[in-house]
Amino acid sequence: MILLTTLNANYIHASFGLRYLRANLGELRDQCEILEFEIQRRPIEIVELLLARQPRIIGIGVYIWNVRESLEVVALLKRIAPEVCVVLGGPEVSHETQGQPIVELADYTIMGEADLAFAQFCRQWLEGVPPATKLIHAMLPPIEEIVFPYDEYNPADIANRVIYVEASRGCPFTCEFCLSSLDSPVRQFALEPFLLSLDDLLKRGVHQFKFVDRTFNLNLKFSGSILQFFLDRYQPGLFVHFEMVPDRLPDALRQLITQFPPGALQFEVGIQTFNPEVAALISRRQNYARLSENLTFLREKTGVHVHADLIFGLPGETLESFGAGFDQLVAIGPQEIQVGILKRLRGTPIVRHDKEWEMVYAAHPPYEILRTKLVNFATMQRIRRFARFWNLVGNSGNFPRTLAALWENAASPFEEFLAFSDWIHASLGRTSSIPLHTLAEALRRYVNEVRGQSLETVDRLLREDYAAAGRTELPHWLQREGERNRPKRPLKTTPLPKRQARRTPALL
């Protein structure tokens, strides 16, 4: 028995990597089972369930978000059942393995893309000819030899989980903070077999697809064919997520994109910085004028849900330059602006800036930046809180009208929201476990007391926000006379993910 396992951040995230490994086991596939857990599960319970299957080999996917918990699992496995062969794989153990406790405890670690290497290892080990060394450097597998993993999605996955797909691997860019910069050139799966797999998933009931390709719109003919495939088969409830190169959106793609109804497409746009000097430092190439024009087109001429990424803490970035970039994005108006804190991923070349820019990172996952030459620790903490509150207020889609009032007539939305972030943290003393009504009341107080809007105006905006999100249960301080005893109505529902549905009123 071969077991494949990992600890997912949430149940909804099905492990794409494990499904690739099982699909490519060949004659050993029927002897293999996938057993997934969430990181909240107690390690000893995980080990009990794993060992109950009486496995001979256990393969564990290790990532930045689960390495601590995975270490406990491996330690227990080797203490309780040392005869079971434990094999590691995944990004967190594919680079800088020396000194990693989890690598030292495990029997073997496969570094790199293990689609074919894991199958080869299992055959050798089961035949009594194990590898001579603990560290196995997987050769880059020929993409035409990789078996698609889509048959590994079972009915429960299709009904309850995110379905990941990929049309290509690799990235042509060299951004120093990203592991994809190490994976060049871009390799594409054969188009026709891939489209047949997508068609089969649609027939099995999949309506939401998340492409993990790093640069979906790099090959315009390829991406155009995939968009046309979904357009030809569109049905209400279809939702497709892509990561796109922000400065590459020619007319042929634009014409296809405009034909999709609102809410059907989501584009994740990795901008990361609007500071050209910082971009040059980290070897990131992008045309800012074209980027801005493309994003403006997507917002004004299409129904695409735009999720734009910025990273705080890059070498050479200041609080002021980051804020200016944030303000540029707010002016363009993507539905979501994801503010991320720089992480020092194992294997990435961004470490070359450590000395010059005094980059200090946390020693443990997720290895976030603590301070730089230009940003002290206290400021870094402020932006961590900013990112959290922005996610709750700005990205959630719960308060679009009230949010606009928060910086109405102000020169900088970034400065205004940073001030609100400082204020709400001082008021509540926390950044998590904040009920929606508590968040709404804090917004009400701030916009009224600090920004000077009348309570009548703020309450009107909050009522409109609640109504647009389909919420009928108002906090008592928002209820008008006669509303308190009104019977509750069921919320309107849509087949789209919650945030996208709240921002697509035509579908509510």
Residue 211 sits in a domain whose CATH number is: 3.80.30.20
Average pLDDT, the chain: 93
Residue 61 near residue 17, CB atoms below 8 Å: yes
Residues 104 and 204 placed together within one structural domain of the fold? no
Of 375, 405, 434, the residue at which a domain comes to its end is: 375
* In a shared domain, residues 44 and 134: yes
Residue range 481-499, pLDDT digits in tens: 655 545 455 545 556 676 6
Predicted pLDDT of residue 491: 47
Could you tell me the CA-to-CA distances from 322 to 54, 259, 311 in Å, in that order? Answer: 53, 35, 8
Instruction: Please report which confidence band the pLDDT of residue 503 belongs to, taking 50, 70 and 90 as the band edges.
Output: low
Q: What integer pLDDT is reported at residue 181 of this predicted model? A: 73
Q: Could you tell me what percent of the chain has a pLDDT over 90?
A: 87
pLDDT at 52 (0 to 100): 98
Same domain, 7 and 138: yes
Q: Tell me the mean pLDDT in the region 329-340.
A: 96
Number of domains in the chain: 3
pLDDT at 508: 31
Q: Of 343, 375, 407, which marks where a domain is finished?
A: 375
Residue 321 located in a structural domain: yes
CB 75 within 8 A of CB 105: yes
Same domain, 389 and 370: no
Does 366 sit behind a cis peptide bond, omega within 30 degrees of 0 on the bond before it?
A: yes
Tally Cβ neighbours within 10 Å of residue 7: 25
Is the same domain home to 318 and 421?
no
223 and 371 inside one domain = yes
Residue 472 has pLDDT above 90, yes or no: no
List all residues 6 or more positions away from 60 whose beta carbon is below 8 Å from its beta carbon.
5, 6, 70, 73, 74, 86, 87, 88, 89, 90, 106
Question: What average pLDDT does this structure show over 322-335?
Answer: 97
Could you tell me if 197 and 325 lie in one domain?
yes
Orientation angle between helical segments 377-390 and 413-428, nearest 10 degrees: 90
- For residue 173, the model assigns a pLDDT of 84
Range of the domain at 127: 2-143
Per-residue pLDDT of 93-129, as tens digits, reads 999 999 999 999 999 999 999 999 999 999 999 999 9
Kindly state whether residue 152 falls inside one of the protein's structural domains: no
Instruction: Give yes or no: residues 338 and 461 share one domain.
Output: no
14 phi and psi, to 5 degrees?
-75, 140
Least confident interval from 56-65, 207-216, 378-387: 207-216
Quick one: pLDDT at residue 174? 85
Q: What is the pLDDT averaged over residues 402-422?
A: 96
Q: How confident is the model at residue 185 (pLDDT cuts 50, 70, 90)?
A: confident
Read off the DSSP letter of residue 391: I
Give yes or no: residues 272 and 399 share one domain.
Answer: no
Residue written as token pair 């030899």: 145
Last residue of a domain, which of 327, 346, 375?
375
Q: What's the pTM?
A: 0.91
